[in-house]
Structure 1
């Protein structure tokens, strides 16, 4: 390997054979290079149409943007096979930790050189995955994500478990769900629940489009807290369609029993037959009285779960 002065014009900037960095880091690197210069020289290999970039594309683009015409680079001066160069590129980047999109892009490069079996046996472990076909297909799904979803993923604002569902959506549905994510800032668990509920409703109603009108309308609410609150209530009403009808009866029961010294709590959306009852146990007579009260309300309570 040689440390050599290279003209930017000698580099084939269109050759992405060994490049998989994401997102574009040039703007950030411009400021860094202006301040402290290039700390680690880019790594190049002599190709048929000029030097191929093995590692350091962002640094080279930043230098070009700054008007630099030549710079010091490390040049591999031994003949290498494409698979060797790809491994060198990977090893040169592993120190910084790769995000999921970069791992998927590396898989895309590797598929042009290695058979699937070798990728599963050798490449996946290098990317911190187990040797299992499911991870291979998972990364293929990541590749299918468009730029907006890729940005959310690398910022950890997209639940990776939702990727398979998202990639099965049509373009219009993907755009609808993306706007939902941006508008509501859903947590990872909320994202999965939301997708499952919306897909189930879509199938039941045999409707085009992922979002029903009531959800589209609430996304126009200006206050973000009120918007998310309205969304949660609407989603639960969709998930538990009979709940709103029963909520009035539930509140009446809770209020009546509270007057009699009993506190009763139901699961949030009556999703399971579990209730908590609390009262002060003063003596045996109080216990008998409260048990009789609960017996009188038994049928009403059970009717909530029918």
Structure 2
């Protein structure tokens, strides 16, 4: 290792090898360097006439903006250091940093290329530097393998961790599709959880193989194109329309179940025997040719039941409606 003063043009910034930065906002660091100067030198390694950054990427970007001609650098000769050694230097230099979810995924992937997961240093770095448990590695592996367009949204902080926990379990086509919906609809956290619950419930109960099929419906497709100024209305309308197609689960007392079934049959709706009865819960399958047909039959059923002898029972069921 030796100290060398370099012009920023002599430093290779094209290979940001060890960390991908989650922000391009260097304003506070820029102000600090312009006022007080550089407090810590950059760490580089020298390889085939290239000076490559090990740590200090943000400082380097600020020095470029300030047009520094003599940047103090600690330079490691690559002939004396393996990539494992360089990785260790980068990790220890970033020991006090808070990594974004994106950075953690990239960092764990890079660590796995240099170290065996059972290696003592890998375990130490994972727990004390990256601050991730061994049980979370699979989650970050899935995150790292998200489609590029989804990773870009994560990189620019357009996706939150609660979005990712759902997205990583979808297929790549669905990940791209729903990432666009999430970033354009601007759900609150509670709205997003309701959206996911409705989507998954509808697909599971109605045996819909692909969640994207729901959005081929003209009514829902139009909602995605509602102007930006109507974002809140768009989200509320989307959730309201999804609820129409959510499978009705009615919590009733057991002694009223048979009466409920006979009354539904009288309403003229074609139904099949419930898939299962569990405790005080009935699940009714309504045969419908399309979602609009389903909506019509649900409205018809509601009308008939409210005019029937068990209106009070159905009213109780609606109050205890579970989607």
Using the size of structure 2 for normalisation, the TM-score is: 0.63
**Structure 2 counterpart of 1:122:** 124
Cα distance in 1, alignment partners of residues 117 and 190 from structure 2: 33
> What TM-score does the superposition give when structure 1 sets the normalisation length?
0.66
Stretches of structure 2 that go unaligned for 5 or more consecutive residues are 251-278, 282-308
User: For residue 262 of structure 1, what is the aligned residue in structure 2?
Assistant: none
Q: Which residue of 2 aligns with 1:215?
A: 220
Q: CA deviation at 1:31?
A: 6.0
- Indicate the SS of the match to 1:209: helix
Moved more, 151-160 or 11-20: 151-160
Question: Corresponding residue for 1:137?
Answer: 138
Partner of 1:61: 61
CA distance, structure 2, for counterparts of residue 206 and residue 163 of structure 1: 16
Equivalent-residue separation in structure 2 for 1:128 and 1:75 (angstroms): 28
CA-to-partner distance for each residue in 1:190-229, whole Å, 9 max, x for gaps? 4344235335545734568352432221233342332222
Equivalent residue for 1:232?
239
Aligned to 1:159: 163
Which shows bigger deviation, 232-241 or 70-79?
Answer: 70-79
Question: Is this contact kept in 1: 2:158–2:183, CA < 8 A?
Answer: no
2:195–2:239 CA contact under 8 A, matched in 1: no
Where do residues 1-306 of structure 1 align in structure 2 (5 Å cutoff)?
2-25=2-25, 33-34=33-34, 37-76=37-76, 79-118=80-119, 121-126=123-128, 127-132=130-135, 135-145=136-146, 146-151=150-155, 153=157, 156=160, 158-166=162-170, 168-170=171-173, 173-199=174-200, 201=202, 204-206=207-209, 209=212, 211-213=215-217, 214-222=219-227, 223-240=230-247, 298-301=312-315
- What count of residue pairs does the alignment treat as equivalent? 253
Secondary structure at the counterpart of residue 212 of structure 2: coil
Counterpart CA distance in 2 for 1:218 and 1:23 is 32
Q: CA RMSD in A?
A: 3.8
Where structure 1 has 5 or more consecutive residues not aligned to the other structure, the ranges are 244-271, 275-294
